[in-house]
Structure 1
C-alpha cells in the first residue's frame, strides 16, 4: 500500500498573492473558492483576508461577475434550471442579492425553450411504456436538472 504524502506549501504572502491572481485570471472564482485555496496553501487567516481584499481591489475577484458567469455557463452549457444553479451558487457562498440578480439575467423565453427541448429529447429517449411511469420519469429528470415543478407540469399539460 502506497502512503500518500501531504503537500507542503511554504508560500510567503507576495508569492501567494501572485499565484492567486494568476488562478483568478484563468477563470472566474468565488471568494470562497479563493479562500479555500489559500487555506489549502496553509496561509494564515489574516493573510488570507488581506490577499482576498487585494484581489478584489485589483479586480481579479468580483463576486457579481463570478455569479453571472456561473449562471450563464450552467444554463447555456449544462442546461441546468434555476433551482440547481441557485443551489450551486449557495454552495459557493455567494450572497443572496447577487444570486437573485444573476438568475434574473436568464431570458424567460430562452428558459422555457430550453426546458421544452430537454423534455422533447427525454421523451424520445424514454423507453417506458406505462404512461404514468413515463410521465414520472420525465418529471424526475427535469426536476433533477433544476427546473421548477410548476413549469414542468404546465409544459406536460400543454403537450
Structure 2
C-alpha cells in the first residue's frame, strides 16, 4: 500500500466526517462501501481521532441529544442504538445524563397523551397499544405505568 492511497482514503474520510458527527463503527462501514484496503483502516481511524474528526464521546452526546429532542426516543432505545455502534458504556451513561429528568418525563407524557388520543378502542386495548408504543420508543416500563396512572386520574 503506497502513501498516495493512504492520503487519498484519509482525505475522503476526513471530508465525510466533517459533515456531521461520526463514530468508528460508521467510518468502518463506510470503508467497506468505499473498498478501502483493510490494512489502512486502523491507521486512518487513528489519524481521524488525532485530528478530532471523530470522537466517540462527542458522538454519544450529539446522538443522545438528537434522538431525544427530534425523534423523541426514550433512554432504553438510545442506549441500545449506541451499544450497537460499539460506543463505550462510560460515554453512553455520561451522554444520557444530559437529558433532564423533568424534560424526559414531559416528553414521555406528551407522547403518551398524543398516542392515547389517536386510538379509538375500549380501555384495555387502548392501554395495551399505548404501552406497546411507549415501549417501542424506548421508555422505561415504570415510567410508562406511572404516567398512565396519572393520566387516568
Instruction: Identify the match of residue 54 of structure 1 among 47, 59, 66.
Output: 47
Instruction: Identify the match of residue 137 of structure 1 among 121, 129, 134.
Output: 129
Tell me the TM-score normalized by structure 1: 0.89
Q: Secondary structure at the match of 2:22?
A: coil
Q: Which moved more, 1:139-148 or 1:41-50?
A: 41-50
Counterpart in the other structure of 1:5: none
Is residue 2:19 matched to residue 1:26?
A: yes
- How big is the alpha-carbon RMSD for the aligned residues of Structure 1 and Structure 2? 1.1
Matched residues, number: 148
- Alpha-carbon distance between aligned partners in 2 of 1:43 and 1:143, rounded to the nearest angstrom: 39
- Alpha-carbon distance between aligned partners in 2 of 1:22 and 1:42, rounded to the nearest angstrom: 17
Counterpart in the other structure of 1:17: 10
Q: Higher helix proportion, which one? A: 2
Is residue 2:102 matched to residue 1:112?
A: no
Unaligned 5+ segments in structure 2 are none
- Alpha-carbon distance between aligned partners in 1 of 2:6 and 2:80, rounded to the nearest angstrom: 33
Q: Secondary structure at the match of 2:86?
A: coil
